[in-house]
Structure 1
Amino acid sequence: MNENDANRATEGLPVSFTDATIEDFPAALEFIRNLWDYNTYDEQETRAVYEKVIADPDSFIFFARAADGSYCGMCHGDYFQTFWMSGLTCYVSSLIVRRECRGRGVGTALLDHALARAKSRGCKAATLDSGLPRTAAHTFYEHYGFEKSCYGFEKYL
C-alpha cells in the first residue's frame, strides 16, 4: 500500500495517510500534549524521541490528513518479537484523533491502516493499551474487535 495514495472515506471525512517527517514534529507535539495533558513535555527531549522513532525501521508513525492538508490523527507503534505470539507483534502505543475529527471514522481508519501495515510486515497480532480513565477509548477498541487481555503496569525509573 502506498502511504500517500492510501485514501479512505471516513463518514464524510476523507483522509490520506502520510509517514511522519521531521517537518511534522510541531503537529506531533500538539497531538502528544493534547492526549497526555497531565504530563509536561520538554520540546527538545520529545523531538529527540520523535527523531529516533522516524529513523527506526521497527517503529512507525503516520498521520491521517484531511483533503485540505490539516492533521486529523496520528498513530505510533513498534514491531517486536514476543514469546506470547512466538513471533512478530505490533504494539500500537499512540492513537490520537483531533477532537473536532472524532466520531467521523478517523480512529477506525488509523487502526485499519496500522493493522494493514502490521499484517504486511508479518505480525501475528497487534496489542495496545489505554489509560484507565479513558472509558470512551476502551469502548471504541472493544467495538473495533480488541479484547481486554491483561492489566498494564508501569514503574518510573
Structure 2
Amino acid sequence: MTADVDSGTFSLRRATKADLPRILALLMDDQLGATRENLDDLAPYERAFEMIDGDPAHLLVVGELDGEVVATFQLSYLPGLSRRGSLRAQIEAVRVDDALRGQGVGALMIQWAIDQARGRGCSLVQLTTDKSRAAAHRFYERLGFVASHEGMKLTL
C-alpha cells in the first residue's frame, strides 16, 4: 500500500529485524510506552520479533515516509469457536510519529489492516486501547470501531 500524505509518500511493509530500534523508539514515544519499555537489554525484543516474524498468524508492519520508518502496528489472526468458528483479526501497538499525526497516516494503516483481515476471511477486527487515551478512542470511533466490550488484563 502506498499513498500520498501531506509530508510525502507513505507506504506499508512487513517489518524486518533492522527496523527494531525504530519500532521500539515509536513504542516508547508516549507516556505509557516510556514506562513499560526498557531498551537496556534488547534480547527480549529480538526474541519477540523472531516469534512474530516466524508465525504466519502474526504480521509486524512498519509505515515509511519517503524511506524512513514513521509508524508501526501488529496484526494477528486469532481462530476461535465463537462466531461460527470464525477467524478474527487483532490490531496491536499502533504508533505514528508525532510529526505525522493528523495527516491520515493512522487511518491508512487501520484501513489496510481491515482490508487484510477481510482478505483472510475474518469476521471481526478488534483492538484494545488504554482507557487514558481519549484521542485514540475518538480516532477509532471515527473509523467505525465500537467500544462494545470491557477489556480486562492481569499483569504477570
TM superposition score normalised by structure 1? 0.89
Cα offsets for 1:110-134 (capped at 9, x unmatched): 1011111111111111000100110
Written as runs of structure 1 = structure 2, the 5 A alignment for 1:61-140 is 61-67=60-66, 69-86=67-84, 87-140=86-139
Q: How many percent of aligned residue pairs carry the same amino acid? A: 25
Distance 1:72 1:33 in 2: 13
Q: Does the residue aligned with 1:37 lie in a helix, a strand or coil?
A: helix
Q: Which runs of 5+ in 2 are unaligned?
A: none
Residues 1:11 and 1:147: Cα distance change in structure 2 (over 3 Å): farther
Cα offsets for 1:91-150 (capped at 9, x unmatched): 001211011111000100110111111111111110001001100000000011100111
Q: Corresponding residue for 1:38? A: 35
Distance 2:50 2:6 in 1: 33
Q: Corresponding residue for 2:19? A: 24
- Contact preservation (8 Å) 1:77, 1:94: no
Residues 1:23 and 1:40: Cα distance change in structure 2 (over 3 Å): closer
Cα offsets for 1:79-98 (capped at 9, x unmatched): 01123433000000121101
Q: Which amino acid aligns with 1:81?
A: P
- Contact preservation (8 Å) 1:85, 1:125: no
Q: Which of 10, 20, 24 is residue 15 of structure 1 equivalent to? A: 10
- Contact preservation (8 Å) 2:19, 2:69: no
- Contact preservation (8 Å) 2:76, 2:89: yes
Cα offsets for 1:40-64 (capped at 9, x unmatched): 3342112211121111100011111
Q: How far off its partner does 1:11 sit?
A: 4.5
Q: Does the residue aligned with 1:38 lie in a helix, a strand or coil?
A: helix
Distance 2:82 2:42 in 1: 35
Q: Which runs of 5+ in 1 are unaligned?
A: 1-5
TM superposition score normalised by structure 2? 0.90
Moved over 2 A (4+): 9-14, 82-86
CA RMSD of aligned residues (A): 1.4
Distance 2:64 2:51 in 1: 23
- Contact preservation (8 Å) 1:75, 1:114: no
Q: Does the residue aligned with 1:72 lie in a helix, a strand or coil?
A: strand
